Chain A
Amino acid sequence: MNIAIIKYNAGNVASVMYALDRIGAKYTWTDDEKVIQSADKVIFPGVGEASTAMAYLKEKKLDQLIPTLKQPVLATCIGMQLLCKHSEENDTDCMGVFDVNITRFQSNTLKIPHVGWNSIKAQGENDLMKGLNETEFVYFVHSFYAPVYQDTSAICDYIQPFSAMLQKNNFFAAQFHAEISGKVGQKIIQNFLDL
């Protein structure tokens, strides 16, 4: 299998690569349109800030490529947020694969960012949580979130319920870091590779 990890300026992806190594999967880290298009699976990871990440994707024209991909795509953390319509983080227009807007957590009592292990609950058809319990713990680090809406495939509760996972056609997204979420995260990645 031929996996493309999209190369852009959001954070480091070493832990994603090591997670794939542990599973024994081969991958290419690339921003080359042809390589991404011809891959069997595409992973769009990242940690970082929305507006700088989108600016880079636009410069490389990846913002036009990614929404047109036909193979399974897994977006995590900021990758997931960039696939949504708009992010409140520096008022950024994103790619709009998922028809939902990203907003910032607001709380006077709970800490922001949301950091640590929290439970997620699968909703409806969740292909990536097959073989897992309905509720599992995964590792989060984020200050912005996607509200729960029709494409939500897993819900997490922090300050209020939000989308821990999204799923629409060939696009799969996780707000948490599957690559460092222990055995559960490993299973989620394995399920994606098995699609």
Chain B
Amino acid sequence: MLTKRIIPCLDIKEGRTVKGTNFVDLRDAGDPVELGAFYAENGADELVFLDITATIDNRKTLVELVRQVARQVNIPFTVGGGIGSIEDVSALLNAGADKVSINSSAVRRPGLIDELALQFGSQCIIVAIDTRFVEGVDWVHTHGGRNITPIKTIEWAKEVEQRGAGEILLTSMDTDGTKAGFANQLTAEISTNASIPIIASGGAGTMEDFYDVFTLGKADAGLAASIFHFKEIEINALKNYLAKKGIPMRI
């Protein structure tokens, strides 16, 4: 049976892992290569590395980091942050990333999704959607959730799939950092209408939150950061808990 995936996200700044609450107040949570290898050994189904200060200067550092991670890690991993061109994607995939995640650049120029899917195949193109509920509607946000766009999240999810996204990484800015649970209602609405997998992100605080996002939220994968980095929840224990409650897990 196809299992639900548990994905730790490692936010990277200048080659180090950090995690903020609602994307401000950064804290250092270790070396990304070591942490990634640790997670791969300890039950993670996949890893996401997100370069939160992606600038041209940091590009080479990121590519080198990807190379080091790929040498160490024997599970799939995704790299995101500041990716805006075929050249960016090519460099990261050649360095050993299995998938890339694009966000603001896809909102700015949706045709980029088509181009990347055509060039590299949908299977390695994840479109990350940051969403926030404003005046009764879920709107796509960019730049780490700071900027609102005139695009409705539900519609954008449909569009990115049509354009060739292989998966959607849906982050709710309303729940991110709150540890009060995932945005299950929105996740379910998007997942039910999509034929591609939905990775839910933002709000994980307890094991039950993951149970809820896989049942109520109909997510294909659950992503979290700080609760894993600070060992509030251990991935193997989480997967055993979920398996006991009937969620298909790779144990």
Given contacts A11-B120, A19-B74, A139-B75, are A111 and B1 in contact (CB under 8 A)?
A: no
Please name all residues of chain B whose beta carbon is closer than 8 Å to the beta carbon of A18 when the two chains form the complex: 70-71, 96
- State whether A15 touches B40 (Cβ < 8 A): no
A67 at the B interface (CB under 8 A): no
Known A-B contacts A22-B74, A47-B123, A111-B195; the reply to A116 vs B98 at CB < 8 A is no
Instruction: Answer whether A14 and B94 are a contact pair too, CB < 8 Å, given A116-B45, A183-B74.
Output: yes
Once bound together, how far apart are the Cα atoms of A115 and B165, in whole Å? 13
Q: Which of A19, A21, A118, A180 has the most CB of B within 10 A?
A: A180
Q: Which residues of A contact B40 (CB under 8 A)?
A: 182
Q: Mark B179-197, 1 if CB is under 8 A from A, else 0.
A: 0000000000000001111
| Residue B149 lies at the interface, judged by CB distance under 8 Å to chain A | no
Which of B95, B98, B196 counts the most A-chain CB atoms under 10 A from its CB? B98
Report chain A residues within 8 Å CB of B5.
116-117
Q: Which residues of B contact A157 (CB under 8 A)?
A: 1
* Supplied contacts A14-B70, A14-B94, A14-B95, 9 more A-B pairs, CB within 8 Å: A14-B93, A15-B70, A15-B98, A111-B220, A113-B166, A115-B167, A141-B166, A181-B75, A182-B74
Per the CB 8 Å criterion, the residue count for chain A at the interface is: 34
Please, which residues of chain B bring their CB within 8 A of the CB of A141?
Answer: 123, 166
When C-beta atoms are compared, the residue in chain B nearest to A78 turns out to be B121
Cβ distance A175 to chain B, nearest Cβ, rounded Å: 13
Chain A residue at minimum C-beta to C-beta distance from B123 = A141
Report how many A-B pairs have Cβ atoms within 8 Å: 83
**Cα distance A181–B2 in the bound complex, in angstroms:** 14
Give the docked Cα–Cα distance between A113 and B99 (Å).
Answer: 15
CB distance from A79 to the nearest CB of B (A): 14
- Assess the B96–A182 pair: CB atoms within 8 A: no
> Which residues of chain A in 124-166 are interfacial with respect to chain B, using CB atoms and an 8 Å cutoff?
137, 139, 141-142, 157-158
Specify the chain B residue showing the minimal Cβ separation from A14.
Answer: B96
CB of B166 within 8 A of CB of A180, answer no
Give Cα A112–Cα B161 distance, bound, in whole angstroms.
12
B123: chain A residues within 8 A (beta carbon) = 47, 113, 115, 141-142
Known contacts A111-B195, A181-B74; decide if A117 and B2 are in contact (CB<8 Å).
yes
With the chains together, A115 CA to B221 CA distance in Å?
A: 10
